Each structure stands twice: as structure tokens, then as C-alpha cells.
Amino acid sequence: MEDPMADLISTAAARGELERLEDLLKGARNVDAPNRFGRTALQVMRLGNPAIARLLLSQGADPNLRDRTGYSVLHDAARAGFQDTLETLFDFQADANIQDNEGNLPLHLAAKEGHLQVVKFLVLHTDSQLGHQNRYGDTPCDLAKVYKRQDVIQWLHCYANGQEKGGK
């Protein structure tokens, strides 16, 4: 049965309309109800807006819910480079080792896109697996190499060799 509030809640989350979202959630039965496109409010929320994420998560949104590609909101935030949103997700027990359908961790996507600060955060502050291989046998460092993300490659090599302790 379709939840008529799901589209309204998803739209407010996607637009970053915090006050509207707060009002809509008062009447919501299920914060993870999918909209007409099969996505939840957390999955379509405006990334880089940790207040929206915190509100949805505090109302019971599942930070580990995956879409049909296997992406969780953690994958989206890592790929886009939104460390503040990642931190909020981890406050609500998001899984740093959740895999998409190709076996990529959020760390793979951050490394691929060259988001050095997000890579550092994931490696230093979570249990994200640096040596994890995706379905094609690629580690996060391998993807950084393919996409020529030199600062990420250098940092990962230094970290792996024990030269990086403070996240510099």
C-alpha cells in the first residue's frame, strides 16, 4: 500500500526544507516509506545538509537502506564528498562496510572521486576496510590510480606504510 505522505516527505528532504519536513514527519507513519520512484526521503535528501539527515535518522530512517543499485546514502555522500553528512550517518550506526551491487564500499567511491578528506575520515574514524576488493578486484587505492587521484594515492600509501598517524 502506497503512503501518500512519502512523496511530500521526499520532496521536502530533497529540497532541504527542514521546517516543512519537521511538520510533515509529525503525521508520517513510516519515515522509510518509498516515494513514487521507490526511494526514501533519506535516499533523496539534499546531500551536504546534515540537519535533514539528523532529523530523518532521529525519526527512525534506516541509514543502511540500499536502492536497486545497492547504493546506500553513505555511498552517495562519500561519492559526492560530504563528510558532514557521513559523520551524521555514523552517529546513527551507518555501516562503513556496506557494499553496493559491484562490491564497492563508500571508501571506494570517495577514492575514485578524489575526495581526500572523506577518504581520510573513512580510514581513520571508521572500520572501513582499506584492502577490500570490489567485484572487479579493485581496492580503493586501485580506483584512485585509475582515476589519477594522486593526493589520495599518496595518502593511502603513506597510511598503509605507517607514516600517517594524525590524519594530516
Examine the domain organization and report whether 56 and 79 are in the same domain.
Answer: no
Residues 76, 125, single domain; the answer is yes
Structural domain harbouring 9: 1-62
Neighbour-count burial for 25-47, b at 16+ CB within 10 Å, e otherwise: beebeebbbbbeeebbbbbbbbb
Q: What is the pLDDT of residue 3?
A: 79
Are 88 and 44 within one domain?
A: no
Last residue of a domain, one of 62, 80, 95: 62
Q: What is the CATH number of the domain that holds 50?
A: 1.25.40.20
Question: What is this structure's pTM?
Answer: 0.92
Each residue of 70-120: pLDDT tens digit? 999 999 999 999 999 999 999 999 999 999 999 999 999 999 999 999 999
Model pLDDT, residue 31: 96
Is residue 55 located within the same domain as residue 124? no
For residue 162, the model assigns a pLDDT of 84
Q: How many separate domains does the chain show?
A: 2
